[in-house]
């Protein structure tokens, strides 16, 4: 059994299809004093004796605990998607679409000037010479992709926050279509 998350001195882990939480060290019967202590305990028990989590005084995570866990999963998935995202730009091809790439293309726009071309690295790591208009098209495409991803993230956050029970939380599918 592997733990899923450690937050607020509590270990969250799955037991079958239920999310459970453990905030007291079963060996000392004392609450974990830090996330580090909880992490250390989770690492040791999940590697050496995973059954100790089942035998301990764990409890089913509250709806608020489950919401917090799901928000953490959403944030991690969102960050992963943003860092690996790409977008197709007509007549140019696929380009990386993360924040750093937006900063890079904005810098290239400043450097390119009104005439001439500048080398631009594509998603597949090939290089293409792009003019100012093409760089601006890339910038717009990356910005639009970012807006769409954030919009989806905010929609999912609202669904999580508005969920009133476990059934509604289980209905939240964290998928960015990437």
- Is the pLDDT at 15 greater than 60? The verdict is yes
Question: Comparing 91 with 16, which gets the higher pLDDT?
Answer: 91
Q: What's the pLDDT at 61?
A: 62
pLDDT band at 90 (very low <50, low <70, confident <90, very high): very high
**Higher per-residue pLDDT: 7 or 151:** 151
Q: Return the higher-pLDDT residue of 47 and 18.
A: 18
Question: What is residue 10's predicted lDDT score, i.e. its pLDDT?
Answer: 78
Please tell me which residue, 61 or 141, carries the higher pLDDT value: 141
Query: Which of the two residues, 155 and 80, has the higher pLDDT score?
Result: 155
Alpha-carbon torsion (91, 94, 96, 98), positive or negative: positive
* pLDDT winner (highest mean) among 16-20, 51-55, 84-88: 84-88
pLDDT over 60 (residue 98): yes
Q: How many CA atoms lie within 13 A of 16 on its CB side?
A: 3
CB environment 152-168: b (16+ within 10 A), e (fewer)? bbeebbebbeebeeeee
Give the pLDDT of residue 16.
73
Mean pLDDT of 134-144: 96
Determine the Cα–Cα distance for residues 86 and 176; give it in Å rounded to an integer.
Answer: 12
- Checking if the pLDDT of 89 tops 90, the result is yes
How many whole angstroms separate alpha carbon 43 and alpha carbon 38? Answer: 9
């Amino acid at each position: 059994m592997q733990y899923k998350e450690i937050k607020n001195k509590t270990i969250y882990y799955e037991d079958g299809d239920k999310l459970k939480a453990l905030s007291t060290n079963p060996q000392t019967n004392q609450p974990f004093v830090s996330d580090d202590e909880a992490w250390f305990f989770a690492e040791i028990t999940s590697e050496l004796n995973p059954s100790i989590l089942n035998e301990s005084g764990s409890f089913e995570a509250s709806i608020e605990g489950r919401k917090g866990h799901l928000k953490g999963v959403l944030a991690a998935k969102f960050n992963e998607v943003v860092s690996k995202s790409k977008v197709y730009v007509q007549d140019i091809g696929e380009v990386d679409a993360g924040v750093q790439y937006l900063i890079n293309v904005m810098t290239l726009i400043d450097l390119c000037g009104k005439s001439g071309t500048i080398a631009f690295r594509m998603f597949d790591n090939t290089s293409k010479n792009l003019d100012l208009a093409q760089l601006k098209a890339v910038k717009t495409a990356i910005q639009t992709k970012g807006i769409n991803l954030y919009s989806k993230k905010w929609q999912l956050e609202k669904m999580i926050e508005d969920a009133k029970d476990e059934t509604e939380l289980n209905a939240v599918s964290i998928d960015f279509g990437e």
